[in-house]
Chains A and B, each alone.
Chain A
């Protein structure tokens, strides 16, 4: 049995060496097809086009796009990878990194130091896990305050959450059936904002404290109590306020302000809304915009790939300035390298990015979303803040 394993090991090692050698002499050699997982509605087109360009450069490598949604990839790789039907390269949000490294599904970045110099600082920080860099960032994202210019003057755009609440109350009273402000109050991606006053951060300043999530710290409780008080400015139960509902309210012109991300720029423009993007308001006691989660979308080389070197080569290619420009043109997402892009909405996001912090990527993050999302809903509907956040903390770090 042991002998069989070692024979297999030697064969696999030989295959790896062979594959690596193939990449260096990329001009010719055996035909290789790389399977790449990405979402549809934009990123798919980008991967296909980039794949064609890549094949022009390396004729022996073709890129095969497979549709797996960004959010599903981390779960899917755990099943498909070991079964031998996984991709060579796949897109995933950086906050799944800890889970994927713990599961052993991804390989480190092949030339991490060079990559760190090429990309935005926030991106390389987000992709560093326990001192090692994994993956290749293709875009950065965060959310900010969208405002409908037809409903609110640019000079009126609030700088603090209190101002926002005051505006919304006034607006709601004056315009029946319309809302001064909407957001998805049951989504932990957005509600984290309220726990960030005075530098309070999820899983500690580095986002790596596995013992204490900080989600039930004094500052968090204070912030979430303020979140609960916002209910008076937006009197809608949590069950009715999903992301799609809030998006629809803004795109149909019934909401003056909305907290959402870059991905909505194109849909809102298509809906004919004249809107602007501003940094988030600041929390009570703070002077600067409240901190938001920043996300990095990255391509990861699967640990189960038969062609890891070629996959890394393609991922590296995707980070090149030309491909980053192409990606921006197709998807409208913020590039992961500093390159000039032409869009009236970018200013607000770039300002907000200065106050954003990378989503922690330790494995405990996996339980954070569901637990904090449910806690936020309960708090919004009037539950005891401290009790909910204690339960949330326990669900995240407990077991």
Chain B
């Protein structure tokens, strides 16, 4: 029997490793007498080998993205986009298989080390118990791991890989025409190619950052100031104001943005007409008609719509601050301003800082606030070429590129850029949360 040949002194380590690497589960079966595990691993490998023609075919399609088949009717032609997503899915399957393979080899080596230590094979029950105990967390996590792989990682990789193809109208829309890999051409075109595209990209990217920063800061401090005022004022009817101030946040943003769009129309809008009727202004103010002013208006309207949320947030945090501190300060003779400056503000800001970062990342992708208010208008010099207007942020530009111009490749490049800007913020925010730090202990 094979087992009798297996020395206790660890000298067969290499033999076990080779068997385990040669075929999944082989070492378990012939050396370690662990048949349950061994056959399970062997079954997985057999299954994979049976599927391998399919897997390899899909991966080959991923590399070629299909050949043109002008003779076939449309319905039967290969669709490059399906090949792309199927291929990526298959890569995920291969990745899972490789992980299981590594686990099986490790398990075989661990089994041999255990055998050397105990100088005997584990008894039947012993082995099963140990396996179940060890396998429990793996089995428990596996479903969510697979779900994340299929529904998060694969779509992410798919949308990113479009940035490296020429998937765009009119000549590269499947299934009639195929899509090809073009490497970094799209990045080159947007970042350093034709002047109007690269200036357009720089302009939109810069405005996106300015927008996200100002929209966040104005809403945050606007909300904070109102919250402090309401608290300090000791008004009997403060709750009424609180309700009024939260209303803009409670109305769906789409509706209120469309209403503002009409109110602020430079010529026909109620705002300018009222101001002119009151004699406050001579000529209409181009709220949404002049690029810089339209940007300012976006931030202003966003402040109107968003400060209520931060007001509630700061109020909640303020209520949580212990009254003892305030009393102590009062006894020490601190003025109300000193209390505000040295106690309330630092405590509230400390508590809400992670939310500012979250709000910043949200505003970078705040599609509704821009698209429904201005639709990206007014146009500027490069709009004719790039279709990006003066108030378009990256995400609304992506919308125009995909929906109206069918330039999925450029849109994907921009999406990748946004991801690269946002990922550090997301990671930073995540690492700051207490739950994560405590998890490290």
Contacts and interface: CB of A to CB of B under 8 A. Distances in A.
Given A240-B267, A366-B405, A383 B381 contact: yes
B437 interface: no
Nearest to B389: A374
A395 B407 CA distance: 12
B169 A303 contact: no
Contacts, number: 122
A320 to B, nearest CB: 29
Contact of B173 (A102, A303, A371, A391): A102
Nearest to B284: A240
B435 interface: no
Contacts of A394: 385
Contact of B174 (A82, A186, A377): A82
A329 to B, nearest CB: 32
A1 interface: yes
Contacts of B169: 99, 363, 366-367
B80 to A, nearest CB: 10
A395 B170 CA distance: 13
A349 B176 CA distance: 38
Contacts of A9: 72, 76
Contact of A378 (B75, B384, B403, B406): B384
Nearest to A101: B176
B173 A304 contact: no
Contacts of B223: none
B265 A240 contact: yes
A38 interface: no
Given A12-B75, A82-B79, A395-B387, 6 more contacts: A102-B177, A103-B177, A240-B267, A371-B384, A378-B380, A394-B385
B255 to A, nearest CB: 15
A129 interface: no
A82 B175 contact: yes
B266 interface: yes
Nearest to B72: A9
A240 B379 CA distance: 12
Given A238-B378, A238-B379, A370-B405, A391 B289 contact: no
A239 B57 CA distance: 53
A391 B196 CA distance: 9
Interface string B389-400: 100000000001
- Give the most central of B82, B268, B387: most A CB within 10 Å: B268
Contact of A12 (B76, B380, B384): B76
B294 interface: yes
30 contacts: A1-B53, A1-B57, A9-B76, A78-B173, A82-B79, A99-B169, A102-B170, A102-B173, A103-B173, A103-B175, A103-B177, A105-B176, A186-B379, A237-B267, A237-B289, A239-B378, A240-B289, A303-B73, A363-B170, A366-B405, A367-B405, A369-B404, A370-B387, A370-B400, A370-B404, A371-B387, A374-B379, A374-B383, A377-B377, A395-B385
Contact of A366 (B170, B286, B289, B400): B170
B392 to A, nearest CB: 11
A386 to B, nearest CB: 12
B176 A374 contact: no
- Counting contact residues on chain A (CB < 8 A from B), the size range is 35 or more
A303 B75 CA distance: 7
Contacts of B170: 98-99, 102, 363-364, 366
Contacts of A12: 75-76
B299 interface: no
A236 interface: yes
B288 interface: yes
B74 interface: yes
Nearest to A107: B74
Contacts of B289: 237-240
A367 B294 CA distance: 26
Contact of B384 (A241, A248, A375): A375
A266 interface: no
Contacts of B79: 82
Contacts of B406: 75, 78, 366
A75 B407 CA distance: 12
Contacts of A392: 384
